[in-house]
Amino acid sequence: MSSKDLDKDGIDNIDNESEKDTEKENIDRKIPTGSKFAQKISDDAPLNLAKMYQDWFLDYASYVILERAVPHRNDGLKPVQRRILYSMRRMDDGRYNKVANIIGNTMQFHPHGDASIGDALVQLGQKDLLIDCQGNWGNILTGDGSAAPRYIEARLSKFALEVLFNNKTTEFKNSYDGRNQEPVTLPVKFPLLLAQGAEGIAVGLSSRILPHNYNELCDAAVAYLNNEEFQLYPDFLTGGYIDVERYNDGERGGAVKVRANITKLDNRTLLIKDIPFGKNTASIVDSILKANDKGKIKIRKVDDITAQNVEIQIQLAAGVSSDKTIDALYAFTDCEISISSNCCVIENDKPHFLNVSHL
């Protein structure tokens, strides 16, 4: 063997040892060998941060918009909600299932943690439309949380079984790991998005669609099929009064004012029976106490005795006008709030800003 061949073999051995060292370093750093991350770390050239932001951050933003925060126009569901309902349909035998089991089954399709699935499931159950709940599911009026998933149970409601599923018209795709098939969207026969409402914050945009009354949606659907005009306004489970002058059919930039229902029991006692959407009795009481501390209102005591229905009693200080106190409660507390609407949905893999009539 010539010296030239020896030199060549020596260089090859050095290269092989260098590659092994690089692989060992990548393993120590828990970086997959041969990945673009390992290549960039091992290169001597400086990293191009601008290029990284253009590629990686844009991918992240697109993922959050399409796969997490914004509902789809076809079925009105976010991906986690769709996966929960589909998983419950596969498990359905007419009996209740522990929520912990539903969460575990849904993780076949959802690449994120069990906490996000559990929270989304509880929110669906509290809307009292698609899920038949059993156990302590919390209270949207008081803000109390639900019991742990191992203590509460759920099954699909008869309404959900009727309007959500049809395998013959459902398009499926691979799940995140390719082991299962999940629906792209569900073939919903009802304007579910407008009935439930939706709220999500993505990267660079947000979506907030207010809930509407079930019966009014049915009437609007009939009017639409008959080519008749219709008008839809929000309706809330928490009750209260609403001013829809600036609603603008739910388009971006529209807003509604929502007021609590405050009545007089007597000249020294006020009673709050309905609260604004998105608030609970605890936050209402806190805002009243803060307004009292700032001198905006003068009260003696606040009692929250809410059970099945909202009931907050306000004891006024001596010599204070009840009418003026009601006006001050609307002006300086959460008894009156403004809720903006931003009807953003996913359609054809892109976010679109629409209005309620289009939906």
- Tens-digit pLDDT profile for residues 38-77: 444 445 556 677 776 677 777 777 878 888 889 999 999 9
Domain range summary for the chain, segments of one domain joined by +: 1-30, 72-174, 190-254+341-359, 257-339
β 181-183/172-174 pair status: antiparallel
Q: Which CATH class is domain 257-339?
A: alpha beta
Q: What is the dihedral of CA 23, 26, 30, 32, to 10 degrees?
A: -70
Tokens of 172: 């499926």
* Catalytic-labelled residue, pool 60, 151, 224, 241: 151
List, for residues 143-187, the tens digit of each pLDDT value. 899 999 999 999 999 999 999 999 899 999 999 999 999 999 999
The yes-or-no answer on residue 96 being catalytic is no
Q: What is the predicted pLDDT for the residue at 201?
A: 86
Distance, CA of 19 to CA of 16 (rounded, Å): 5
- Residue 314 contacts residue 263 (beta carbons within 8 Å): no
List, for residues 202-214, the tens digit of each pLDDT value. 888 889 999 999 9
Distance, CA of 176 to CA of 179 (rounded, Å): 8
Q: What is the predicted pLDDT for the residue at 47?
A: 66
CATH number given to 72-174: 3.90.199.10
Sign of the C-alpha dihedral, residues 352, 353, 354, 356?
positive
309-324 burial by CB neighbour count: b if 16+ within 10 A, else e? ebebebebeeeeebee
pTM more than 0.85: no
* Rg (alpha carbons) of the chain, rounded to whole number: 28
